[in-house]
A = this chain, B = another copy of it.
Amino acid sequence: MPVRLTESLASTETVGRIFEDKAVVQAMLDFECALARVEERLGIIPAGCAELIASVAAAGEWDFDDLAAQSLRAGTPAIPLVRVLSQRTNGYVHWGATSQDVCDTAMVLLLLRQVMPYFDGLRSRLEQALRELSECHASTVMLGRTLLQPAPPVTFGLKAAGWMSSVRRGWERVRAAAAEALVLQFGGASGTLASLGPELGPVVSRELARELGLRVPDAPWHAHRDRLSALLSSFSILTGSLGKMALDIALLMQHETGEAAEPGGAGRGGSSAMPHKHNPTACLLTVSAARRCPGLLSNFLSAMLQEHERAAGGWQSEWPAITGMVEVTEGLRLDPARMRANLEATGGAVFAERAALTLASSRPELGGLEGAKREVEAMLRDGVLPGEFTKPEEYLGCAEYFRKRLLSPHGDEEE
């Protein structure tokens, strides 16, 4: 049961499986096994211990319900896990480590080995789909919309490029934050490895990191959660960008607007009451996931002030966002004719900005911009904005200029 029903709208099967009990326990055992191998190699614990622990770990007969219940009493899953492991071996387990070393490193391993590659794969599919959508609709003119009201024309290609660019920036932030945050946690009771001593401690730490494929931070970070906070912030911001994209699409899908449609597909978008309905389900799941992040992040950041914070949580809800958006983007159906019709239905008002500037330049007797604006308002009231001012195609060049910059590999970099 990787995802509970009450959470089924706020996670994905894959993420559920990454964080399911046996995966979490396995990551904790990976830590203990690697520690034993290193300490045996360095002569800190007797020969044979590492193999013994590994064999117990491999047997894998854990009563997860019991572990969870004991964790509730102990305040951490590490205590019951280490107790069981010690009972089943000769006790040379967890040597020099503290509970938080196991729990934090296990979470780091799951994030680094499972979550990041899964996420990266989705992200790359999304960027690709958005890039194709943008190229394909480079000349598809549509209404700009500000404050939910019509504004001068843009192209759908530009809109998709804007989404792509924010996802790319978001992922760069995630990657940078992960590189900083996903490091070994190993410090013992007070975070100084004092029980191993100043000579052995750092050596064990370095070797343990090598075994687990992790980097060594400057010092244990039991009470300094800023790196994890930065990682979670970057997740939340990326999810916010996905949520904005999903909301845009759901708004375009309104029946009265009708410029886009979700791909639909088996089991998606239906209604239990209305057989014919086609809901923006994937978009709304993304919006819903995106709305959950800020509060979860707020909780995590609030917890930075507690010296001894080990609350996990928070990672699990970010993923539905990207999964949903990949699916939607790969199958998005657009209606350029409807876009054009909606644009024309505004009766010229969206061309007013440009018309006013053109008039102000060409007819100085109007007395600058304010006078030209009044002139345009008068034309609009009479319903006759001259044809020279209402050609959507003239907006293509501007949209294309920014679209290409957004898609270029250098992003913000100055030309």
Contacts and interface: CB of A to CB of B under 8 A. Distances in A.
Interface string A328-368: 00000000000000100110011011101110110010011
A46 to B, nearest CB: 7
B272 A99 contact: yes
Interface string A243-267: 1100110110111111000000011
Interface residues on A, range: 35 or more
A118 B188 CA distance: 39
Given A190-B152, A194-B152, A277-B149, A218 B354 contact: no
A75 B285 contact: yes
Given A150-B255, A151-B190, A192-B395, 14 more contacts: A2-B65, A97-B273, A153-B190, A166-B224, A173-B230, A189-B353, A192-B399, A226-B240, A241-B304, A244-B304, A291-B299, A291-B306, A292-B311, A294-B295
Contact of A311 (B3, B24, B288): B288
B195 A357 contact: yes
A141 B77 CA distance: 31
A366 to B, nearest CB: 9
B281 A74 contact: yes
Contacts of A102: 272
A359 to B, nearest CB: 11
B307 A8 contact: no
A98 interface: yes
B357 A217 contact: no
A217 B414 CA distance: 7
Contacts of A68: 1, 3-5, 8, 13
Q: Which 3 A-B pairs have the closest CB atoms?
A: A91-B368, A198-B397, A144-B190
Interface string A384-400: 00000000001101111
How many copies of this chain does one complex carry? Answer: 4
Nearest to A65: B1
B86 A370 contact: yes
A56 interface: no
Interface in A67-86: 67-80, 82, 86
A8 B70 CA distance: 9
A229 interface: yes
A302 B302 contact: yes
Nearest to A102: B272
A401 B254 CA distance: 28
A128 interface: no
A196 interface: yes
Interface in A137-182: 144-154, 158, 161-162, 165-166, 169-170, 173, 180
Contacts of A291: 299, 302-303, 305-306, 311
25 contacts: A73-B266, A75-B269, A79-B270, A82-B272, A86-B368, A86-B370, A92-B368, A97-B273, A99-B271, A149-B277, A151-B277, A188-B273, A192-B395, A194-B399, A196-B357, A196-B398, A198-B400, A218-B402, A218-B411, A225-B240, A233-B233, A254-B256, A274-B349, A274-B352, A295-B298
Interface string A1-35: 11111111111110000011100110000000000
Given A72-B3, A230-B237, A353 B274 contact: yes
